[in-house]
Amino acid sequence: MSNSILLTPGPVQLHPKVQEILSVPMIHHRTPQFTSILKSALDQLKLLFKTSQPCFMLTGTGTAGMESLLVNTLKKGDKVLAIVSGKFGERWAKMAAVYGAEVIELKVDWGQPVLVEDVKKAFSQHPDIQIVLCQACETSTATTHPIQQLGQLIQSTRALFLVDGITALGAYPLPMDDWHIDGLVGGSQKAFMLPTGMSYVSFSKKAWDKINSNEAIASFYLDIKKEHAANQKGETYFSSQVQLIRALDLVLQMILEKGINTHYAEIHARSEYTRKMADVLNLKVYSAAPSDSVTALLLPENLDGSKLRDHIENKYDLILMGGQDHLKGKILRIGHMGYITTDDLHQSSLRLAQALNDFKHSVNIETVKENSRQLIQKLFKTERGL
């Protein structure tokens, strides 16, 4: 096989221009040159978050961003409703417990979106819920939650709605202000198409009122008021991750130049392509509310998915993700974020088809080729993705 293809829901393939800018010589972060890059990146972030509030960048992976949303708004003993529909929901619930919240878990079957009705019920049982935690896309099951409807519901309560948009923000529309989201986080190695290491957050006016009341539990490193003050002086609170911020500025510029909606449409087309190819490969889509950013394919019962995944990687140089916990060996997860060309898509379908044949799940390669070509022609206007 020729080139290696990385189609995981993070990390993702990097655009050649991003690779290039990552190797530009280092500059110091306390310089006019860096200050203008920082300002530009922070301003452009607001266009992606679709918020009038300031956005922030943290040198820490997505989980640090989740922690920032929480520690800056959570009071000890607050009742937190955690929507748990997979690994990342579990993570946020655990985190809230670590910080002394009274966590109420709303467990949702894996692969299913949460029912707004069930959240409403939780509020009638616990009218004093202070914070609601939810993934926009639960990456472990490739499932989206109805964020707009939840925001609508929660805005009329005293609670803050914190959303983990790490595999959503930048991949499909998640307008923070319009959808009444009070805290939103994105991650660098996911929809922001950069290497791992940074997260991006923003807080609503309602959240800022709580932050400014100084009642939230303290964090030294993640103190958003200090970060805000530093940003206003053209700096970050601690040393800046110069390379990733420079690359972020470029990525945002590229997205905005292309048009955010064109960018979303391209990612959507990749998910559409993948779901249609699943039919051709005789595989089912696992999730009841599939995401544009990542697709989970359910494998036949008699097929050992862990072995298949390793085989695809070792023999065909295509890197996909498997499932976790009770989905281990049962699903394959394919990411749609990052720099993915239509040739990558075509090649990955062929490689997956060949691997499935090696595992006696027979598919006709010529049919796969033909269908893939037709779909690409139908779904994509351009050869190259961002």
Ligand X SMILES: *Cc1c(COP(=O)(O)O)cnc(C)c1O
User: Site residues (CB under 6 A) for ligand X?
Assistant: 10, 61-63, 88, 135, 139, 164, 166-167, 187, 190
Q: At 369, list the tokens.
A: 């080729």
The Cβ of residue 334 has, within 10 Å, a number of other Cβ atoms equal to: 25
As measured in angstroms, the least distance from the Cβ of 386 to ligand X is: 19
Pick the closer one to ligand X by CB: 94 or 158: 94
Pick the closer one to ligand X by CB: 61 or 354: 61
As measured in angstroms, the least distance from the Cβ of 10 to ligand X is: 5
Beta bridge partners of 80: 103, 131
As measured in angstroms, the least distance from the Cβ of 27 to ligand X is: 26
The Cβ of residue 238 has, within 10 Å, a number of other Cβ atoms equal to: 13
Pick the closer one to ligand X by CB: 198 or 368: 198
Pick the closer one to ligand X by CB: 131 or 356: 131
Beta bridge partners of 200: 57, 186
- At residue 59, what are phi and psi to the nearest 5 degrees? -85, 90
Pick the closer one to ligand X by CB: 14 or 166: 166
- Contact between 91 and 63 under an 8 Å Cβ cutoff? The reply is yes
- Contact between 181 and 163 under an 8 Å Cβ cutoff? The reply is yes
CA separation for the pair 72, 99 (Å, rounded):
11
Comparing CA positions, the residue from 196, 173, 354, 349 lying closest to residue 270 is 349
- Contact between 319 and 7 under an 8 Å Cβ cutoff? The reply is yes
Pick the closer one to ligand X by CB: 144 or 231: 144
CA separation for the pair 294, 317 (Å, rounded):
19
- Contact between 1 and 317 under an 8 Å Cβ cutoff? The reply is yes
As measured in angstroms, the least distance from the Cβ of 88 to ligand X is: 4
In the complex, residue closest to ligand X by CB:
62
Torsional class of 112: left (φ above 0), alpha (ψ -120 to 50), beta (otherwise): beta
As measured in angstroms, the least distance from the Cβ of 199 to ligand X is: 7
As measured in angstroms, the least distance from the Cβ of 165 to ligand X is: 8
As measured in angstroms, the least distance from the Cβ of 267 to ligand X is: 15
Pick the closer one to ligand X by CB: 166 or 331: 166
Sign of CA dihedral 242, 245, 247, 250: negative
